[in-house]
């Protein structure tokens, strides 16, 4: 299996085993595709995004794999009481992986987390849906 799918699968396994404020079931997909009617339930989708290979030393390379974690839920009112806990969950997920070496793929260690924008204004406006995407970078040297 490729480095990036190994990393994505390990992220899924660790998210599903984690004890977070919201119960969640993460799944890996190449293309997260849903209908709006499905989105009343929380969806957490792990998507392999990109990989960059650079020279590490004379015999090894550095593989920096970017993985997106999309956290999505259609909201009822969009008020602070409904959205703040979702953003808390996104931060919990980000914190969960920060400085982490993946248990089921220990060759990969965390390098960076990007979270911009913190939610999709387009999904908010046109679907009344919270969509927040974290991009994690994990490094493997081999």
Backbone φ, ψ for residue 88 (5° rounding): -60, -40
Residues in contact with other proteins by CB under 8 A are 31-37, 39-40, 45, 47, 68, 70, 72, 74, 76-78, 120, 122-123, 125-129, 131, 133
- The residue (of 50 and 53) whose beta carbon lies closer to other proteins is 50
CB 84 within 8 A of CB 91: no
Q: Judged by CB, which is closer to other proteins: 57, or 125?
A: 125
What minimum distance in Å lies between the beta carbon of 57 and other proteins?
A: 34
Minimum distance from CB of 7 to other proteins (Å)?
A: 18
Residue 120 Cβ, how far from other proteins at the closest point, in Å?
5
User: How many Å is the maximal CA-CA distance in the chain?
Assistant: 57
Pairwise CA distance, residues 53 & 99, whole Å: 21
Smaller CB separation from other proteins, 34 or 96? 34
3: left (phi over 0), alpha (psi -120 to 50) or beta: alpha
């Amino acid at each position: 299996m490729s480095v990036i799918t190994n990393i994505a699968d390990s992220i899924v396994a660790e998210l599903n085993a984690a004890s977070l404020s919201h119960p969640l079931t993460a799944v890996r997909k190449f293309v997260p595709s849903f209908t709006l009617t499905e989105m009343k339930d929380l969806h957490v989708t792990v998507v392999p995004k990109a990989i960059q290979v650079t020279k590490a030393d004379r015999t090894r390379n550095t593989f920096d794999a970017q993985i997106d974690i999309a956290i999505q839920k259609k909201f009822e009112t969009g008020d602070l009481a409904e959205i703040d806990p979702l953003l808390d969950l996104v931060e919990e997920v980000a914190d969960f992986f920060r400085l982490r070496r993946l248990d089921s793929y220990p060759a990969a260690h965390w390098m960076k987390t990007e979270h911009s924008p913190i939610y999709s204004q387009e999904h908010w406006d046109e679907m009344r849906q919270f969509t927040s995407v974290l991009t994690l970078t994990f490094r493997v040297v081999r």
